[in-house]
Amino acid sequence: MRRQISRLVLLLAFFPPPAAAVDVEAVLAPFPGLSGFARLLASSPVARELAGRSSLTLLAVPDRDLPQSPSAFAAAAGADLADVLRYHVLLEYISPADLRRLPPSGKLVTTLFQTTGRASADLGAVNVTASGPSSLGVVRSPAPFPASNATVLGPVTSVPYNLSVFAVSGLIVPSGFDLAASDARPSAAPVNITRVLADARGFNVAASMLEASGVAEEFEGDERGAGITVFVPTDEAFASVPAGDRLQSLPADRKAVVLRFHVLHSYYPLGSLESIVNPLQPTLATEYASQAGRFTLNITRFNGSVAIDTGVVQATITRTVFDQNPVAVFAVSEVLLPKEMFARTGSDSAAAIVAAATPPPASSASMPPEPDESERTPPTKLSAPPGNYTTSLAASSSSAKTVGLLCIALLYLLLLLLPPV
């Protein structure tokens, strides 16, 4: 009995606390040199928009580097101040070590401004590049013409995997701002996934397949309700698919199954995926399957990234392409091939395509083959996306730590009171 309780105590001591929502005001409060930037956030809609998000990087401008009138500065550039502030919120957690590991070409990171729908193409993102010894890096607009940029002066603070704050040398203004757009004019039309991919660049194969298959129209219908999360392979990912997989030679109905396999029927921002409660998630292809538990994705956090395992392919999320409730679109490093259709043969790269060789049942053109009796059958319902809390980061973290310490103390007390076995 003592041994079992000891193990339980150790598990509680090392079990990671759940990700909490971001309270930026509380995080910036101990830094008086950022008080002006903190006030700008608090007086704008941006602070409320951050309340339900996690896994972010904030580019904060020190008071000495802020313009005398930030609103006039933004207006002179043809932008709205709230959108300028949104442009300083990156929808991805980046640590100083991550910054130093960036390739010479840099990394394109989506910002909160992209979620407004007012950014042209990928101009709602920033290009983050590593720099010389005098600074950690440079953040600039990806616009091909001269654009706003700022130097990363250094890290300020961080809440691991939840919020990272860097000081930058000045306000960065998004390019291609639509002056006619307004916060008070939300778009009622469903998100056109194919258009999003065309604007984001590097997803030509995926966009063509979606348009040719007609599956994109299904996605638009599924955006209502719980929303959708789409994992989109890059053109490089499609190019790296082994020839033996014969993906492009699949019949149209089987190709549609593969496309549906890249979609979760619920809206998951990046922070929610990083702290997902149930790692085994059904896809839209699961809903078309003859039995439950087929065509699922195993989603976990690994080495600071979100990893996706299909049973045949292991991929990672490389960047956020689009994130505007109820739709999230993420780039992935590999084409997600379902194990129900692709079975690897031995140690080589060849693959036997099970689904393509087996004609579909007469009752449904897109029905996958029957599963083995031994196949595991998890529930088909999606768990509610975690991480969308309204409590502050400081309160949530403090409460979780207090409860955890009390539990450990009580268990140790019980262990001492028990008679030896």
Burial (Cβ within 10 Å: 0-12, 13-18, ≥19) of residue 321: buried
Average pLDDT, the chain: 75
Q: Which of 118-132, 193-207, 358-372, 394-408 has the lowest mean pLDDT?
A: 358-372
229: tokens are: 């999360």
pLDDT exceeds cutoff 50 at 20 = yes
Q: Which of 37-46, 257-266, 304-313, 336-345 has the lowest mean pLDDT?
A: 336-345
Q: Closest by alpha carbon to 192, among 210, 212, 174, 177?
A: 210
Chain segment 218-267, per-residue pLDDT in tens: 887 666 656 889 999 999 999 999 877 788 889 999 999 999 999 998 88
Helix, strand, or coil (residue 111): strand
The model's confidence at residue 281, banded by pLDDT at 50, 70 and 90, is confident
Place of tokens 């989506």: 110
Chain segment 373-402, per-residue pLDDT in tens: 333 333 333 333 333 323 333 343 444 455
CA angle 85, 90, 95 (to 5 degrees): 125
Give 297's contacts (C-beta < 8 A, 6+ positions apart). 231, 261, 264, 280, 281, 283, 308, 309, 310, 336
Sort strands 296-302 and 280-282 into parallel, antiparallel or unpaired: antiparallel
Cα 19 to Cα 195: distance, rounded to the nearest angstrom? 32
Bridge partners, residue 232, by sequence: 331
Cα 112 to Cα 165: distance, rounded to the nearest angstrom? 15
* Contact (Cβ atoms closer than 8 angstroms) between residue 8 and residue 411: yes
* Contact (Cβ atoms closer than 8 angstroms) between residue 44 and residue 38: no
